[in-house]
Amino acid sequence: MAKISAEEKHRKKAEFDAHIYDIFINEGWDAVTYERMAKDFGTRKSSIQRYYGKRLDFGNALQGKILPIILPLLDFSDKEAFIASWLLALDNQTFREVNKLLIENATGSGVGGWQGVNRLLHIMRNTMSNNDADAAITTCLGKTVLFFLAPANQ
């Protein structure tokens, strides 16, 4: 197999990342798979795995792109408003997909979810106390897990 240059590898990675984002936004997290990427790029699954060693690594392509999408859905004025807006945002398909990715990160070996939650907590702590921000995110994440466990959402 011929080696590719670092420049070519970087270009391919950027192309893969953009495609991952498009799939995620248009079809959801479950549609982002090795098989899908390999098919869409006319290559082998092992070629995609060179760039993304594990499935959660696909989430790295979304870093820095997700928070701007979900922030307008959330009310940061206080703890109660934040929780209420989070629960309403679960009606939004993209918001649900972001949470699926977050839950998969929490139960897998990904770190992107923790970084995203920390960024969100930082924003929350600008408008509410640390205790209120921590309590709100704990409540929201717990309610999100219960939301996905509910039979109607399966």
Check residue 153 and give its pLDDT. 64
Evaluate whether residue 1 is within a structural domain: no
Check residue 74 and give its pLDDT. 97
Q: Please give the average pLDDT of every successive group of 10 residues along the chain, which has 154 residues.
A: 80 96 93 96 94 89 89 96 97 92 76 78 96 96 93 68
For residues 45 and 112, state if they share a domain.
Answer: no
Check residue 138 and give its pLDDT. 95
148, 44, 61: which is closest to 112 by C-alpha? 61
For residues 78 and 146, state if they share a domain.
Answer: yes
For residues 44 and 87, state if they share a domain.
Answer: no
For residues 46 and 90, state if they share a domain.
Answer: no
CB proximity list for 87: less than 8 A, separation 6 or greater: 140, 143
Q: Which of 14, 45, 62 is the last residue of a domain?
A: 62
Check residue 39 and give its pLDDT. 96
Indicate yes or no: pTM above 0.85. Answer: no
Domain residues for the domain of 31 are 6-62
Evaluate whether residue 84 is within a structural domain: yes
Evaluate whether residue 141 is within a structural domain: yes
Q: 16-35: string of b/e by CB count within 10 Å (b at 16+)? A: bbebbbebbeeebbeebebe
For residues 49 and 72, state if they share a domain.
Answer: no
Sign, CA torsion 20/21/22/27: positive
For residues 81 and 139, state if they share a domain.
Answer: yes
